[in-house]
Amino acid sequence: MPPNLTKPNSGFTSKPSPLCTFVSLIFLLIIGFYTLHYPPGNPKKVLLFQQIFLSSASNSTIASYLRSLTSHPHLAGTKPSLETIHYVKTHFQNLGLETHTVPFQTLLSYPVHASVLMHFGNGTVLNLPLNEMGIPSYPSSGLIQPYHAFSPSGTVHGKVVFANHGREDDYRTLGLMGVNVNGCIVVIRKGGGLSRGAVVKIAEKKGALGVLMYAEGHVSKGSFGSGVERGTVMEGVGDPLTPGWGADEDGERLKLEDKKVLQRFPGIPSLPLPFESAQLILDSLGGPLAPQEWRDSGRSNLSHVGSGLVMVNFTYQGEKKLATIYNVVAVIRGLEEPDRYVLMGNHRDAWTYGAVDPNSGTATLLDIARRYALLMRKGWNPRRTIIFCSWDAEEFGMIGSTEWVEQNLVNIGAKAVAYLNVDCAVQGPGFFAGATPQLDNLILEVTKKVQDQDSEVVATIYEKWKTMNGNNIQRLSGVDSDFAPFLQHAGVPSVDIYYGRDFPVYHTAFDSFNWMINNADPFFWRHVAVAGVWGLLGLHLADDPVLPFDYLSYAKQLQEYKDAYSRVLDGNISLTPLAASIQEFTSAAKQANEETKKLMEQEFTNDLLALKIRALNDGLMLAERGFLDTDGIKGREWFKHLIYGPRSNYESGLEFFPGISDAMAESKNMSQKDGHAAIKHEIWRVARAIQRAAAALKGELV
C-alpha cells in the first residue's frame, strides 16, 4: 500500500479501529434483537444493514484491489487479460459467491503496423513518433501501440487540412474559407462532442483520404509527456458478426465481407497521434489563417488550416480476428423474490493499465461485493437477487455486455429490476450521475447518506453536489458505456455514476496506478464515496418491499421534452398525440404512487398484501420496457428505446426522442409534404411508446 493512502484524522485506516469493532458488535446484537421481534423486511432492520455497509468502508482495501488490477496492461482478447479475469473470478469465489465465467467468441481488432511520414519540399522525410514519449519500451511493458480499433488498413498520401473537431459546422467554416478536404488527409482535434467513429464517418463523407486525431490533454503529475488516445471507430455496439444474438463459439456468424458487417466500419483509415507529432504537422500548414476561435480554444500552436507544401504519407495495417472474451458473473440469490434481478456492472478490459478507465470501477465493485458478503455473515439476505457483472471488451464497443444481454434478452426483459453501471468510478473531483428519471429521487436520497470527502467541512455528497450543479442528473442517451444494451435495447431502468470527468490521461499509457495516487484520488476516499452510493442503491433496489421508482419524475421529464420540440417544430405539425400520451402516463404514475403509499401503510403482512406488492412492482419494473419499439430507431434498428438512444443528427441539441430529431434533419432534403409526414410518423411512434409504458405501469390491458 502506498504510504499516502491513510488520510490524517479520517476515521478510516487499513485496519478497523477498536471503536469500529465495538460499534459493529453493537450492530450485531441489535440485529439479533430485531430478527427475533420484527418480521423480515422490517425497515429498521434494513436500515441497520445499510449502516453496517457504510461503516465497513476501507480506502486501503480498494487501493490494494486497484494496484493488483493495474499491474500490467490487459486489452481484451490478449493473454495478459486472462490474469485480470482470474483475479476478479477468484475474488468473488473467495467471498463464497456463486460465480462463473461466460465466454463469447467475437471479432476484435489489433494493430500490426503504422507509420506517418512528412515529406518536405526539399526532399527530406520525417518519420513521426506514434507512441507516448517517456515510456522506454513498449514491448517489454506489454503495451500495444496506439491505434483505432476496426479502422480499415490502407496507405494514403496527400496534403493535410486541419478540420478542428471534425463537425459538420467545422467543414462549413472551411468551405467558407475556400478550403476543400476532398482528396486530403484531415487532422482532427478531440472535442466537439462527437465519437471517434462519427468524426471519421463525416470526414469520409467529405471526401477525405484518412483521419489523424490528437488530444490536447495536459501533462499531469507523474507523466512524462502527452498521451495518445486509443479507441474504437466501429459504429454501434456488440460483435459485428452476430448482430442481435449472442456470440457463442459454435453459433451462427455473418461473414466479414457481409454488407451488414462492413457498414459498421469506416471506409477510410484513421490513427491517433501524440500531441507533439500533431503539432509538427500543424506547424507545416499553409493556406488561410485559422479562425480566431479555433486558435484560442486549444493548447496547440495553430496558425493556418492548410493545405501547404508538405505532403503526408500515412499507413495503417490492422488485423481483425476472432478472439474469446470472458464476462465474470457472481450471484447473491434473493430470499423472497429470487426471480427479480438487480444488476451491478463494470467493464474490466482496458486499452492500457486502466487505473481510471475502467478499473477504478472494478476495484469499487469488488469492494461492494466484499461488504455485501460481510452483511451476509451478519445475517443479511437480499429480498431480490443481486448479480455482479464484470464485462469484457467494452472498449471495442460494449461487446461483452451486449452479447450477454442479447443471449439473455427474454429473462432480462421479464426479470431485471434495474442495471447500476459504474465505468470510471473516479476521474477527479465532483460527483456526477446519469439515470432514467424514475430513479432520480432514489439517487438524491442515497447521496444524502454518504459523506463527500472533498468538502472542507463535513457534508454529504448531496450537499456538495447541489452547490456544484444543482443535483443535475444527466440522461443516458449516449452510447458510451455498458448501460447502453440494458437501457437502449432491453428497456431496463439504468444508472451511471462517477466522480470527475474529462481526465487528461484517458485511454493513454499514463492511465496507471501512479497517476491515480498522484492526481485523481491519492487517499482513495472518492472511491469510498462511489462505493457508498453504488452499494446503497443496490441495497435499496434489492431490499425495499416496493421498488423505489417514482414515475412522476419521468412524466415531468417527458413533458419538458415535448415542450422543447414544440419550440422548434413547424407550427403545422401537431404534438397533440404526444401531449395526450404524456397525460395518460402522468395519470398512471400518480396512481402508482398512491398505491405505493397505501400498501406501505399496512402494518401487517399477509398473502394478499404480498400479491398486491408484487403486482405493483411488476408494473414499476416493466414500464420502462414500454418505451421500446420492435422496429427500433430508423437506420439504427438495434436501438429500440424511443426516448433515449443515439441520433444520427449530430448537430441537434435535442438528446431525446431520437427518431423525431432525425426525422427533422432528414426532412430538410424532402418536399414539405413528405418531410412533415415523416416527422408526424415519428411523433406517433413515440406517443404509442408512452402509452405502452402507461399501460404497463397500470398493469391493465387496454
Residue 522 has pLDDT above 90, yes or no: yes
Q: pLDDT per residue over 54-101, tens digit each?
A: 999 999 999 999 999 999 999 999 999 999 999 999 999 999 999 999
Contact 310, 284 (CB under 8 A): yes
C-alpha closest to that of 444 among 364, 296, 553, 592: 553
Contact 189, 298 (CB under 8 A): yes
Confidence of residue 494 (pLDDT cuts 50, 70, 90): very high
Query: Cell for 627?
Result: 418505451
Contact 366, 67 (CB under 8 A): no
According to the model, what pLDDT value does residue 296 have? Answer: 78
Query: Cell for 560?
Result: 419538458
According to the model, what pLDDT value does residue 23 have? Answer: 38
According to the model, what pLDDT value does residue 31 have? Answer: 39
According to the model, what pLDDT value does residue 221 have? Answer: 53
User: Which domains, from first to last, does the chain contain?
Assistant: 47-106+322-457+502-543 (3.40.630.10), 110-318 (3.50.30.30), 551-698 (1.20.930.40)
Query: Cell for 181?
Result: 478536404
Q: pLDDT per residue over 443-485, tens digit each?
A: 999 999 999 988 888 999 999 999 999 999 999 999 999 999 9
Residue 252 has pLDDT above 50, yes or no: yes
Contact 132, 227 (CB under 8 A): yes
Q: What is the pTM of this model?
A: 0.93
Contact 555, 585 (CB under 8 A): yes
Residue 406 has pLDDT above 90, yes or no: yes
According to the model, what pLDDT value does residue 29 have? Answer: 42
Confidence of residue 45 (pLDDT cuts 50, 70, 90): confident
> For residue 250, what are the contacts with CB-CB under 8 A and spacing of at least 6?
none
Confidence of residue 425 (pLDDT cuts 50, 70, 90): very high
CB count in 10 Å sphere of residue 187: 24
Q: What is the mean pLDDT of the segment spanning 244-264?
A: 97
Contact 623, 689 (CB under 8 A): no
**What is the identity of the amino acid at 515?**
W
| Residue tagged active-site, from 132, 229, 394, 584 | 394
Residue 327 has pLDDT above 60, yes or no: yes
Q: Identify whether 132 is a catalytic site residue.
A: no
Contact 211, 272 (CB under 8 A): no
For cell 444481454, the residue is: 405
According to the model, what pLDDT value does residue 35 have? Answer: 37
Residue 223 has pLDDT above 60, yes or no: no
Least confident of 216-225, 362-371, 374-383: 216-225
Residue 515 has pLDDT above 70, yes or no: yes
Q: pLDDT per residue over 116-167, tens digit each?
A: 999 999 999 999 999 998 886 777 788 999 999 999 999 999 999 999 999 9
Contact 448, 455 (CB under 8 A): no
Q: pLDDT per residue over 574-592, tens digit each?
A: 999 999 999 999 999 999 9
Tell me the H-state helices in 601-700.
607-622, 658-666, 672-698
The H or E element spanning position 109 is strand 98-119
